[in-house]
């Protein structure tokens, strides 16, 4: 069956109207979601790249969490070492006091009693200081995953100090006599130096972790920006396209109605 000229025009205008409607729906979808790529058919290559970047961003965020945990771990360790440092300083004061011959036996007994309690507390801090079940002051090493890969540069080995009584050389110290108290002064100085070195090492590690956290934040920002450039919609452009497609649809609709009117008029003329 042949299609009249008027019928062909109607089909053409109908096709254009349908296309304009589809363009409007797609544009509204992009504006509503803020995403240029709604489905793989919109940009298959762009979608693959964007999803890969998003996966990398998620890994970088997890690495930042690991770094935060590492910072918390160093803070706990440094705080405990500071407490031990203050206790050792008090021990040395007691040794200086006990080293004087002006004290009697009762005085030294009281000094020794306080020293014994301080000694026990230093040991207790070393034995109980931990982060998420991991001992922090008993020696060894913890490894932090601060990057997103499997290279050595993606991990940071953190040395954990041993600040127990024996490691500090304070297990055999005695302040019960003036002579033993004087001899203990060198032990307290050595213990204080060891604690200072441990605190300095932990402080340096914390500074490095802060640097890694900042670098990772810059990386995440760049990854997010790259993914956004690929996947996000240009709202200004999409709004313009929406207005244009609506105009085209309206024109096609009016022309279609006009053609339909002409066809009806021609039919009446033929019948007459």
Degrees to nearest 5, angle at CA 135 with 132 and 141: 105
- pTM across the whole model: 0.71
Judgement on whether residues 87 and 221 belong to the same structural domain of the protein:
yes
Cα separation of 136 and 45, whole Å?
A: 48
Residue 118 sits in the same domain as residue 220: yes
Q: Is residue 39 part of a domain?
A: no
Handedness of CA 73, 74, 79, 83 (dihedral sign): positive
What six digits make up the tokens of 128?
């109980």
Angle between the N-to-C axes of helices 178-231 and 44-98, in degrees from 0 to 180, rounded to the nearest 10: 170
Residues 76 and 113 in one domain: yes
* Token pair 């302040």: residue: 175
- pLDDT tens per residue, range 47-100: 778 788 888 889 999 999 999 999 999 999 999 999 999 999 999 999 999 999
| Overall domain count for the chain | 2
Residue ranges making up the domain that contains 238: 5-34+233-271
Q: Based on the domain organization, do 14 and 121 belong to the same domain?
A: no
pLDDT for res 228: 74
């Amino acid at each position: 069956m042949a299609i009249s000229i008027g019928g062909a025009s109607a089909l053409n205008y109908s096709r254009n109207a349908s296309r304009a409607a589809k363009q409007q729906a797609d544009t509204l979808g992009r504006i509503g979601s803020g995403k240029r790529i709604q489905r793989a058919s919109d940009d298959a290559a762009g979608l693959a790249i964007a999803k890969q970047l998003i996966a990398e961003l998620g890994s970088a965020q997890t690495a930042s969490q690991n770094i935060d945990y590492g910072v918390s771990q160093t803070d706990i360790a440094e705080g405990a070492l500071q407490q031990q440092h203050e206790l050792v300083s008090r021990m040395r004061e007691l040794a200086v006091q006990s080293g004087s011959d002006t004290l009697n036996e009762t005085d030294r007994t009281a000094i020794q009693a306080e020293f014994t309690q301080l000694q026990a507390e230093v040991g207790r801090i070393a034995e109980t200081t931990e982060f998420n079940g991991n001992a922090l002051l008993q020696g060894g090493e913890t490894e932090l995953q601060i990057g997103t890969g499997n290279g050595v540069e993606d991990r940071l080995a953190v040395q954990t100090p041993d600040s127990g009584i024996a490691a500090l050389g304070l297990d055999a110290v005695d302040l019960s006599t003036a002579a033993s108290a004087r001899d203990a002064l060198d032990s307290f100085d050595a213990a204080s130096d060891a604690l200072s070195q441990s605190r300095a090492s932990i402080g340096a590690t914390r500074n490095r972790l802060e640097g890694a956290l900042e670098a990772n934040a810059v990386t995440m920002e760049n990854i997010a920006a790259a993914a956004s450039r690929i996947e996000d919609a240009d709202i200004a452009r999409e709004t313009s396209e929406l207005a244009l497609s609506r105009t085209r649809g309206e024109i096609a609709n009016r022309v279609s109605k006009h053609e339909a009117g002409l066809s009806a008029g021609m039919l009446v003329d033929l019948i007459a």
